[in-house]
Structure 1
Amino acid sequence: MIPTNTKKRQRVPHHPTSTRHAVDTTRLESTAKLRRIKSISSFNDDSTADVILRLYVDSSSPFVAESSAEDEVQIYLHSDVLRRSKYFAAFLSDRWQNPNPNNNDIVSDGDEKVIRLNFGVSSTKPSSISDHVTVMQLLYTDDFSSVINSVTVALDLLLVALQLLFEDCVKACIKFIEAVPWTEEEEKRVIEIIPLLREEESRELLSRVYSHDDSCEEMLHGLITSAIHNHPNMAFVKAFVAKLLREFASRESARRVLERAFEESLKVVKESLEEYSSPDFRGDTNETEAIQRLNLHTAMTNGRHLVWLVERMIELRVADSAVKEWSEQAEFTADLQRAFRDDAWRNIVPGLPSVVMRCTCKLANGIAGGTILAARQVRMKLVKDWLPVLIVCKDNVSPLVPSQKVLYLELEETFLRIISTLPMSDAQELLQQCLSFSTKNVEDCPHLITAFNTWFRRATRPSLTDDRS
């Protein structure tokens, strides 16, 4: 989220304090005239300089253990150039009127005064003095691009330019930082420096590192939508998005995004099957057949999306709401039963029953395996509404291919395991509907035998009240 109340620091020129003294204006005019004559100035030219600047590491800094010869440097500068820095412009403006402030000196050099300035640098790194020297050198040029050639350099020089109020350098550094990629470490430094900038300077940087509160969820939803609907390399993109979801920091955000996508796809499947099963779309006309084909293909496509979404939700253990939603589909399951009793779909989308039942199987396995802790009412309704669909699929989808046989057998076993978790009265009602799981050879349906034996064992067990009496 973009901070809206960040207090920006005002870059106000610092005027060194000193006792004010009168100055001979004639001599000042003479000095200025001499300076104009020396219009060709070069950095660190001791023959033309009128300012000698001593940069030193401030020993009072808690980060500096002790001074050494490498902790200071002396450079020769020109006051007319230094005035590009508002800090020095303010300093020199006062300095001409205030001799000897803070151990800075004016010494005679023929007819011209030479100003000696001391500038303490408090630093956590040895390169800070060299950064100051570089910024002083940039006062002599407008070609910043030859020096500002990396984010690290731009950030280092920006801190100095902000301190010296060297606006042209500040703009050049910000322009470079805005335009190039950052490493994670560089991004941290950018965030730290943003409060030092004015609002108009920091606007682009803020928009790059902060966003509105729900942007992550919108991004995830967009990725999921693209992966399941639009992208030509769907399998690879689905795998990539699945990895992003697994590694996403907020599981609650991932939950909300997946639930939203699940509800959208489920809605499309339900509406398509509802239209297919509607009496308004029955008949033999070419137009009706085309509409029915479209409805079935839409249901098939979005059914596949549902399978992938359910897999992601189970993987992240956020499928609780999906299971509840899937257990409250009495009208949808009724439409599916009507559709699968019809022969029209067989030549259009023969895989539709398997797709729909794979969703049911995955959610049911989540319940039976304990990865989804569903309430008793949800468990009961899931089996009650989807068991008839399973029976219709087995009876009307023939001949069953091997993959369908495996799927339906797995779902039978899972339904029976869920039934074993229900109260005896509910289990009695549902088990009677499972007789279609039996086969010609009784020994080929051990899951059904086990389920009934479990129920009868419990039903014949003496109650606790009898034991206590």
Structure 2
Amino acid sequence: MIPSTSKKRQRLPHHRHTTAALIDSFSDKTISESSKKLRRASSHPLLSSTIPSSSHPILPSSSSTTTITATSFNDLNTADVILRLFLDSTAPIINLSDSVSSIDNNHQSNAQIYLHSPILRRAKYFSALLSDRWLHAKENSESAENKIDRYLIPLKLGVAPGSIEVHLTVLELLYTNDFINIINSAAAALDILPVALEFLFDECVNYCVKYLEAVPWSEEEEKRVLNLIPFLREEESEELLTRVSPARDDSCEEMLHGLILAAIHNSPNMATVKAFVAKLLRDFSSRESARRVLERAFETSLKIVKESLEEYSSPDFRGDHNETEAIQRLNLHTAMTNGRHLLWLVERMIELRVADSAVKDWSEQASFTADLQRAFRDDAWRNIVPGLPVVVLRCTCKLANAVASGTILAARQVRMKLVKYWLPVLTVCKDNVLSSMLPSHKSLYLELEETFLRIISTLPMSDAQVLLQQCLSFSTRNVEDCPHLVAAFNTWFRRATNQPQGDTDC
């Protein structure tokens, strides 16, 4: 607690025409406890009881150099304040030379230095602490002309060993204002800032804060900054908080969404960036946030592909032939580009097991699949986007496989419509595209056939009966080449001839 101005001070004997006054009410309190209360209450009675600056000015930064020429830090001959810093109250008082640079911060547990009250008053803590002394000095100015009124201030530090040197550094900054050379790293600023806050040395606090605002931090330094922010004023901590606190609650999702868009649209090195963003999504702590950003991107890309195929399948012929052809090429390229984006998004959603909504959306594309069938029956796309059928069917295959394997637990209607609407697209591609495809792509058709048949096996027999009849296109001239189709029909007939127990009617 800051001592009351009405508390009687103990006087020490005179030595060589000097008077010593002991401010002893701090011996059982740490400096941080006292200054914390004072800093947060600008109307503290001790602050209001200080003598106006005209009588005993607090030395500003600009005038400190002039004063230092007459009064140096730790100058025994001119000091009027003896400041004792200690971690151990039982340690003896030690006498220091004019320099304190030899202090070992790993072993030093106490220090005694000689200071000057006008300079100390630059720190509000000392200004308030010594305010009663100023009143006393003013009243007895004539009798004090030929002697130094020296005060002993014991300050027990409420911090870990090793802080003596930091406190001495801050005290020396009261004399030198050499912030630029002393505060030259985030670690130095974080060491000095707590002591500057304890002493209420506002210039030093402001410089430390400005320095921390402008330089990078390590993870450990960031933790220290966060621990110090509650002790700063709102205006002091504002910039630091904007650096570590999101501006909005959904900032993480907006960041992820922006990264996804950059990966699939804007990056020149797309494959590398996509791999990096995929890792970020895998490592992100909230799967629900990842789900939302992926669904948002999926819906956007799907909408673009659908609109492009719709315009291609139903073109506006009001322009000339060349203009129409250019627009059709553009529509196909747009569909192809965003189809690749869709495939990457589907892979990420399945990897994170958040593709439920994507499967449902994919199963409700009656008009989109109709446009695809019309487009693939036309030969125009072959020289423009020959890979479009593969991209579309790979999206379908990825989602269908996730359903068939149980990775996605889709409702019966979703499973049924997924086969109902996408089986015709597979059939058209097989009839019109297979002959011109690379051998490596033909396995995709077989995989999707097998997956559709597995999904059909999960449906009611009435639905399976209708859909299986549409799968006859899976057959070949050699029955041995389509065992998946044979097995599917055999399973359906076996179930059809199985009579439920208790039912003997044919």
TM range (shorter): 0.7 to 0.9
Moved more, 44-53 or 256-265: 44-53
Within 2, Cα distance between the matches of 1:446 and 1:284? Answer: 51
Please state whether the residue corresponding to 1:47 is helix, strand or coil: coil
Query: Are the aligned partners of 1:14 and 1:90 in contact in 2 as well (CA < 8 Å)?
Result: no
Code of the residue aligned with 2:229 in structure 1: it is I
Within 1, Cα distance between the matches of 2:371 and 2:325? Answer: 18
- Post-superposition Cα deviations, 1:356-401, rounded to whole Å, max 9, x if no partner, equal 0100000001111111111111000000000000000000112332
**Which of structure 1's runs of 4+ aligned residues deviate more than 6 A?**
13-17
Query: Are the aligned partners of 2:83 and 2:153 in contact in 1 as well (CA < 8 Å)?
Result: yes
Matched, 1:179 2:217: no
**TM-score for both structures, normalised by structure 1:** 0.87
Cα gap change, 1:422 to 1:334, in 2 (>3 Å):
same
Moved more, 457-466 or 402-411: 457-466
**TM-score for both structures, normalised by structure 2:** 0.80
- Residues 265-284 of structure 1 aligned to structure 2 (within 5 Å): 265-281=301-317
Cα gap change, 1:38 to 1:164, in 2 (>3 Å):
closer
* Residue in structure 2 matching 1:85, options 99, 114, 123: 123
Cα gap change, 1:59 to 1:372, in 2 (>3 Å):
farther
- The equivalent of 2:288 in structure 1 is 252
* Residue in structure 1 matching 2:158, options 108, 122, 136: 122
Cα gap change, 1:377 to 1:59, in 2 (>3 Å):
farther
Please state whether the residue corresponding to 1:55 is helix, strand or coil: strand
Moved more, 112-121 or 432-441: 112-121
Please state whether the residue corresponding to 1:440 is helix, strand or coil: coil
CA-CA distance at 1:283 after TM superposition: 9.2
Query: Are the aligned partners of 1:82 and 1:89 in contact in 2 as well (CA < 8 Å)?
Result: yes
Query: Are the aligned partners of 1:14 and 1:87 in contact in 2 as well (CA < 8 Å)?
Result: no
Within 1, Cα distance between the matches of 2:278 and 2:451? Answer: 26
- The equivalent of 2:140 in structure 1 is none
* Residue in structure 2 matching 1:295, options 296, 307, 331: 331
CA-CA distance at 1:12 after TM superposition: 4.2
Query: Are the aligned partners of 2:39 and 2:200 in contact in 1 as well (CA < 8 Å)?
Result: no
Please state whether the residue corresponding to 2:108 is helix, strand or coil: helix
- The equivalent of 1:203 in structure 2 is 238
- The equivalent of 1:45 in structure 2 is 75
Gaps of 5+ in 1: 1-7, 21-27, 30-35, 61-67, 100-107
CA-CA distance at 1:110 after TM superposition: 6.2
- The equivalent of 2:385 in structure 1 is 349
- Residues 91-102 of structure 1 aligned to structure 2 (within 5 Å): 91-97=129-135
- The equivalent of 2:403 in structure 1 is 367
Gaps of 5+ in 2: 1-37, 50-54, 57-65, 91-105, 138-143
- The equivalent of 1:103 in structure 2 is none
Matched, 1:193 2:223: no
Code of the residue aligned with 1:409 in structure 2: it is L
How many pairs does the alignment contain? 430
* Residue in structure 1 matching 2:487, options 427, 431, 450: 450
- The equivalent of 1:408 in structure 2 is 445
- Residues 151-190 of structure 1 aligned to structure 2 (within 5 Å): 151-190=186-225
C-alpha RMSD of the superposition: 2.6
- The equivalent of 2:471 in structure 1 is 434
Moved more, 339-348 or 323-332: 339-348
Within 1, Cα distance between the matches of 2:457 and 2:234? Answer: 66
Moved more, 282-291 or 231-240: 282-291
- The equivalent of 2:185 in structure 1 is 150
Within 2, Cα distance between the matches of 1:411 and 1:42? Answer: 87
Please state whether the residue corresponding to 2:85 is helix, strand or coil: strand
CA-CA distance at 1:98 after TM superposition: 6.7
Matched, 1:399 2:453: no
CA-CA distance at 1:14 after TM superposition: 7.0
Within 2, Cα distance between the matches of 1:177 and 1:39? Answer: 31
Please state whether the residue corresponding to 2:131 is helix, strand or coil: helix
Within 2, Cα distance between the matches of 1:281 and 1:59? Answer: 95
Query: Are the aligned partners of 2:108 and 2:164 in contact in 1 as well (CA < 8 Å)?
Result: no
CA-CA distance at 1:10 after TM superposition: 1.8
Within 1, Cα distance between the matches of 2:445 and 2:218? Answer: 52
Matched, 1:321 2:357: yes
- Post-superposition Cα deviations, 1:333-373, rounded to whole Å, max 9, x if no partner, equal 00000111111111111111111010000000111111111
Please state whether the residue corresponding to 1:42 is helix, strand or coil: coil
* Residue in structure 1 matching 2:251, options 215, 222, 230: 215
Query: Are the aligned partners of 2:373 and 2:425 in contact in 1 as well (CA < 8 Å)?
Result: yes
Cα gap change, 1:38 to 1:279, in 2 (>3 Å):
closer
CA-CA distance at 1:83 after TM superposition: 1.0
Query: Are the aligned partners of 1:281 and 1:292 in contact in 2 as well (CA < 8 Å)?
Result: no
Within 2, Cα distance between the matches of 1:444 and 1:313? Answer: 34
Matched, 1:264 2:300: yes
Cα gap change, 1:10 to 1:461, in 2 (>3 Å):
same
